[in-house]
Amino acid sequence: MPSIDTPDVAVGDPVDHRAVVDEVTSWLTRPADEVDAKLAPEQARVVAAVDRLNGDAESGDEDAYYLQQLLLSRIYQTVMQIPESPTAEGSRVLHEVTRSLEVATIASENRWIEPGFLDSAPTEPREYLSWLKGIVRSHRAFKHPYYTEFINQSAGHDDLRTYVIQESLVDGRFDDFLAMMQVGTSGQAKMEIANNFWDEMGNGDPAEVHTHLFNKIYEVFDVRLDEVEHLLTGSDLLSGNLAVMLCRYRNLYPEAVGYLGMTEWLVPDRFLNVIRAWERLGLPEVGITYHRLHVTIDSQHAAGWFHNVVLPAATSEYMRRGIARGALWRVNSSARHLDERLSYARVTAKA
């Protein structure tokens, strides 16, 4: 088996961020024990390099931000799919790199929340829910012009193809997010998540499983899996990374409740615009089944989520703060993401 490369870069030397990303990526298909045995002496160097990548991303370096989210996305593949050979999942060295990326991502999202804002949340559960929904309803992500104007009125075939690829990191694996986040729950919350998951599973019909239906869209646009990563931006990757992170860790369960709850609440209105674009372009009906289903189902899921997951949890201050933080992470990151998409679409249209 080839040895693991460890370029000779001292902690204080300038860092080639792409080289660091490629180096850590090369670990992922190695057994965890092998990674730890061979890389323990290199741990301080690599973690320092990743920390500097995070620092440059936070300072506004767009390339560093993209590489930061790309590396985290690649690492998350080790926990989001069944491998055909050993992987580095469980490696102590990889865990430290992962935590550095996750902590930096969380800190970045928190900086988009106005200091003290979470302290203004009502304490009574129903008042809290109304407050939370009001914040999201008045947010610019709620009816963003990327959907209401561009997708609805002028998006073409290639625009929708790009849109589907960009959405795949959340829509294409929502069932797995639900399966991950329900661990440790009980009562109303567990039943609501289970019902939601069963709908994603097509209520037991393999032909109706939502990830299967989503893949039909890939067939319409002839999307190859090996091209997907190259078409994703840092903001695309962030959307998927936040969902994986929040559903993976039990201490981030409140944030997952807010993040996924608002994701489902936003879906019906957004997907109506996608359906209009699909019909306007006369694309094959088989490819829009996923979106048609979710216009109705996610309206029901959002209502059930608010009633059975959010309200019971909102008796706890810890849960209220986390749910609100997750909801704000969702709409803030979504607004930035859609701003980027709309700007690119307008530039492309002019060209």
10 pLDDT band, cuts 50/70/90, is: very low
What six digits make up the tokens of 187? Answer: 């009562």
171 pLDDT band, cuts 50/70/90, is: confident
In the predicted structure, residue 3 carries a pLDDT above the cut 70: no
Tokens 């201050």 locate to 317
Question: For 298-344, what is each residue's pLDDT tens digit?
Answer: 888 999 999 999 999 999 999 999 999 999 999 999 999 999 999 98
* pLDDT at res. 15: 63
Strand boundaries in 2-81, DSSP class E: none
* pLDDT at res. 13: 44
Q: What is the mean pLDDT of residues 9-17?
A: 56
2 pLDDT band, cuts 50/70/90, is: very low
Cα–Cα distances in angstroms (integers) from residue 81 to residues 27, 177, 219, in the given order: 16, 12, 21
Query: How far is residue 149's CA from residue 232's CA, in Å, rounded to a whole number?
Result: 22
pTM, two decimals, is 0.92
* pLDDT at res. 344: 87
Cα–Cα distances in angstroms (integers) from residue 223 to residues 164, 216, 220, 240, 337, in the given order: 9, 10, 8, 18, 22
* pLDDT, averaged across the chain: 92
Query: How far is residue 313's CA from residue 319's CA, in Å, rounded to a whole number?
Result: 6
In the predicted structure, residue 4 carries a pLDDT above the cut 60: no
Q: At what angle do helices 125-137 and 317-350 cross, to 10 degrees?
A: 10
Question: For 44-59, what is each residue's pLDDT tens digit?
Answer: 999 999 999 999 999 9
Residues in the chain: 351
* pLDDT at res. 11: 39
Smallest Cα–Cα separation from 27: which of 71, 82, 68, 81?
71
What lies within 8 Å, CB to CB, of 140 at 6+ separation is 335
Question: For 246-262, what is each residue's pLDDT tens digit?
Answer: 999 999 999 999 999 99
Question: For 238-294, what is each residue's pLDDT tens digit?
Answer: 999 999 999 999 999 999 999 999 999 999 999 999 999 999 999 999 999 999 999
Q: 307: part of which helix (H) or strand (E)?
A: none
Lowest-pLDDT choice from 2-6, 180-184, 187-191, 193-197: 2-6
